[in-house]
Structure 1
Amino acid sequence: MRVAFVHYWLVSMRGGEQVLEALSDLYPQADIFTLVYDEKKISEKLKRHKITPSFLQRIPGAVAHYKKLLPLMPFALESFDLSSYDLVISSESGPAKGIIPAPDAVHICYCHSPMRYVWDHYHTYRANSGTVSRALMPLFAPRLRQWDVSTSARVDVFVANSHHVQHRIAKYYRRSSKVVSPPVQVQNFLPAEVSGDFYLCAGQLVRYKRVDLAVEAFKLNGKKLVVVGEGEEMARLKATATPNITFLGRVPFNKLKELLSQCRALVFPGEEDFGITPVEAMASGRPVIAYGRGGVMDTIIPNKTGVLFEDQSTEGLLQAIEYFEAMEGQFEPLLIRQHAQQFSAEEFKGKMRTIVEVELDRRASQKAHNSASLTEYWAHEQFEGLSSGPNAALVQ
């Protein structure tokens, strides 16, 4: 069986690339197709596959500024020749599902999210874009939405990474989907014997992560907050922070593990499609204080593995921290860690293998059925149509 993976872009090793690595364990013979890739920034495991970039790779500066090439991405994806592949698994966060599979091929789309920048986050992205992008987005976004919806028909099975994304697939594509949480390397995290006196906020420092809420809340309550990560918001946040808030920037993995295991709790004030960092914190035995929207609704059990707050504001977060501290002693690190084990890479691979095998079996049965006598087949179909249609009384 010839297998192809289609991944939106390979320019870093984040959650989407961890999914691709787990899929590569299932299908080590698979070829990878991607819009652009940076060989220096992907893992050795992915480099073992044959990787084919699109024609966008040849545009000067494309690897660094690929997001600005969004209007060209549909053309680039449809230019891939996948006619010889039996199974295509697209990894969708950009428009990866828009490839053209062979008629008999099985196409399964693992959807991290429909394209946020043309759907539910469109106005936010546009408001925060530069002058040129802000002017052009209204021109190309409607056509891109039409293309995005029409290409959803090229997918046989959608797999969503959370119930939050499942709802968005149903809303924008009018398609059903199965939910399989992405793989988290939970085995790499362990609880510390003693926790520290600080809270932790970790992730990219970009607007939608709402790290600004954490900074404002801890400026007011005076408690220690450690912020890990870098991004466009870092300078602004540091400029407004008080001495009790420490910015570490990007840290090595071992340091992140240490911080996750020793913090009083992870503060997670943004809305994510899934949210890997909260699962990593729970695998370290630490509770999570999170805004109660998005993927955390699949991963956090209120008052057991963390605290969820409804009001995404400084005041809402402050109240959640007070509530957490009133019951902090009730959280059991070992139970929290045990809960996190269900999001392991092995769980992901087992569920994905089952989905693929069921769809392949269904397709094989369909082919066998179609190869039966056409005369007998159509006679049966015509009779069934009459017996259930407007002439059913005559048939009876």
Structure 2
Amino acid sequence: MRVAIVHYWLVSMRGGEKVVEALCDMYPDADIFTLVCDRDKLSEKIQRHRIFTSFLQHVPGSRKHYQSLLPLMPFALESFDLRNYDLIISSESGPAKGIIPPPHALHVCYCHSPMRYLWDHYHFYRGNAGLMAKVMMPLLAPLLRTWDANSSLRVDRFVANSHHVANRIGKYYRRSSVVVHPPVATEDFVPGGDVEDFYLCAGQIVPYKRIDLAVRAFTKLGRNLVVLGDGDSREVKALKRIAGPTITFTGPASFSELKSRLARCRALVFPGEEDFGIVPVEAMASGRPVIAYGRGGALDTVVPGHTGILFKDQSVESLVEAVEVFEAMEPRFRSDTIQMHAAQFSSMNFKIEMKKIIDQELAKRHVAIEARPYAASRSPLFQDVSQVPLH
């Protein structure tokens, strides 16, 4: 069986690329197709596979400004020749599912999210875009939405990374899906020594993650907050302007520093709405509770009162109240219980569940082929094959 893995772009090693790594473990001989690729940013595991890129790879600056090439992505995806593959697994977010699968192949789409900038986050992205994008988006978005919805019909089975994403697949594509949480290297995180007097906000600093809520809330409370990560320079400057003396910005951090901070913080603060959210699981694997906005993937991972606290409104007041509730019950949170809960999101569980779904779909296709009647049974010339002379 020849296997193709289709990923939107390979220019960094984040959550989507960790899914590709897990799929590479499952199918070590698979070929990888992607719109653009920066091999220097990829893990050795991914680099060991044959990687095919689209014509966008040859556009100057494409590896850095790939998102601006969105109008060309449907043409690039449909240019991939997948005729010789029996199983195609698309890793969808950017897009990736819009390939043209051959009739005999099984196409399973692991969906991190329907394209946010075309659907539920469209107005947010347009509001924060430059002048040219603000002008062009209303003209191009309806065409791209139509293509995106139509290309969902090329998928045989959708797998969503959370129930939040499954609901959006149903809303925008009118397709059902099964939920398999993405792989998290939970075994890489362990509870540390003494917990220190600071809260942690970690991850890429971009507007939709709403780190501004955490900065304002902890400035108001006078509590220590460490903001770990880097991202949009304008957003970082804006956050520093509103930050009080108890807020510390560390900039980008190594993996060892992230592990250390997660293990020592009082709690991770997660004020954004994510499709899944890997950092909260990493914090729980470190034995630390999570204070998260009660929407999106956090509903799949955080158990209120046991592994963290969920706040209902994306506002400073609601977050402040959640921190006060957390501190009142802080001694009740048990590090070992939290760590055990996080173990269910391991890479091994992801591989087991994905293999189960793919094998079931392959078996159904095999049964359907076996059940097809022979042409002779449908032809009036051969209704009684027992009368056909053998010599």
Q: Is TM (by shorter chain) over 0.5?
A: yes
**Aligned AA (1:88):** I
Q: TM-score with structure 2 length normalisation?
A: 0.95
Tell me, in whole angstroms, the C-alpha distance in 2 between the residues paired with 1:278 and 1:336.
Answer: 11
2:115 maps to 115
**Aligned AA (2:309):** V
2:36 maps to 36
Secondary structure at the aligned position of 2:218 is classed as helix
Provide runs of 4+ in structure 1 moved above 6 Å: none
1:134 maps to 134
2:389 maps to none
Aligned ranges 1:150-161 → 2 under 5 Å: 150-161=150-161
Cα shift at 1:235: 1.4
Cα 1:377–1:225, aligned 2, differ >3 Å: closer, same or farther? farther
Judge which range, 233-242 or 302-311, deviates more.
233-242
CA deviation digits over 1:257-301, x for unaligned, max 9?
000000000000000000000000000000000000000100010
Q: CA RMSD in A?
A: 1.1
CA deviation digits over 1:174-220, x for unaligned, max 9?
00000000000000000113111000000111010000000000111
Cα shift at 1:378: 9.6
2:259 maps to 257
Tell me, in whole angstroms, the C-alpha distance in 1 between the residues paired with 2:113 and 2:56.
Answer: 22
**Aligned AA (2:341):** H
Tell me, in whole angstroms, the C-alpha distance in 2 between the residues paired with 1:375 and 1:342.
Answer: 52
Tell me, in whole angstroms, the C-alpha distance in 2 between the residues paired with 1:158 and 1:375.
Answer: 36
1:338 maps to 340
Tell me, in whole angstroms, the C-alpha distance in 1 between the residues paired with 2:245 and 2:312.
Answer: 28
Aligned ranges 1:164-243 → 2 under 5 Å: 164-232=164-232, 233-243=235-245
Cα shift at 1:377: 6.7
Secondary structure at the aligned position of 1:98 is classed as coil
1:74 maps to 74
**Aligned AA (1:43):** S
Q: Tell me how many residue pairs correspond in the alignment.
A: 378
Cα shift at 1:376: 4.5
Counterpart among 270, 273, 280 of residue 278 in structure 1: 280
Cα shift at 1:29: 0.3
Counterpart among 324, 327, 352 of residue 325 in structure 1: 327
Cα 1:374–1:311, aligned 2, differ >3 Å: closer, same or farther? same
1:315 maps to 317
1:62 maps to 62
Gaps of 5+ in 1: 380-396
Secondary structure at the aligned position of 2:241 is classed as helix
| Identity among equivalent pairs (%) | 62
Secondary structure at the aligned position of 2:371 is classed as helix
1:287 maps to 289
Secondary structure at the aligned position of 2:355 is classed as helix
Cα shift at 1:375: 6.0
Aligned ranges 1:294-305 → 2 under 5 Å: 294-305=296-307
**Aligned AA (2:374):** S
Tell me, in whole angstroms, the C-alpha distance in 2 between the residues paired with 1:354 and 1:311.
Answer: 38
Cα 1:244–1:360, aligned 2, differ >3 Å: closer, same or farther? same
**Aligned AA (1:185):** A
**Aligned AA (2:349):** E
CA deviation digits over 1:349-384, x for unaligned, max 9?
0000001101111111111112x23464799xxxxx
Tell me, in whole angstroms, the C-alpha distance in 1 between the residues paired with 2:102 and 2:337.
Answer: 47
1:306 maps to 308
Tell me, in whole angstroms, the C-alpha distance in 2 between the residues paired with 1:177 and 1:339.
Answer: 24
